[in-house]
Amino acid sequence: MNSFTGTNRKVRLGVVTGMEVINGVHVSQPGLVVVDITAADDQTAFAFHAALAAMWATTALERTIRIPGQSGVRLRCYLDMRQPPEP
């Protein structure tokens, strides 16, 4: 779920279209995290993922998702924080 704010500043919850449903296995243990990244472009999204991957184990990524009529790109990765981050 993501929160969206409208012009009247009310917060509403919705599911981002184009993203897979989060499976219970992805967050079945403490320390497992689903990260949804929204960025202006592919390079920014992949750079942020690379920063996460430098510290924790993450899933490999192949492509971003573009939603027609919305600016930017979306990317989902799964992160394992059960081990201490790399320095």
The per-residue pLDDT string of the chain (87 residues; one tens digit each, 9 = 90 and over) reads 444 444 444 444 444 455 566 555 556 678 888 888 999 999 999 999 999 999 888 888 888 999 889 889 999 888 888 887 766
CB 79 within 8 A of CB 52: yes
What residues form DSSP beta bridges with 39?
73
Place of tokens 């219970």: 24
pLDDT at residue 78 in the model? 87
pLDDT at residue 41 in the model? 95
pLDDT at residue 24 in the model? 58
Residue 50 CA, distance from chain mean position:
13
pTM score, two decimals? 0.65
Contacts of 18 (CB under 8 A, 6+ apart): 65, 67, 74
pLDDT at residue 61 in the model? 80
- In a 3-state reduction of DSSP, which class is residue 26? helix
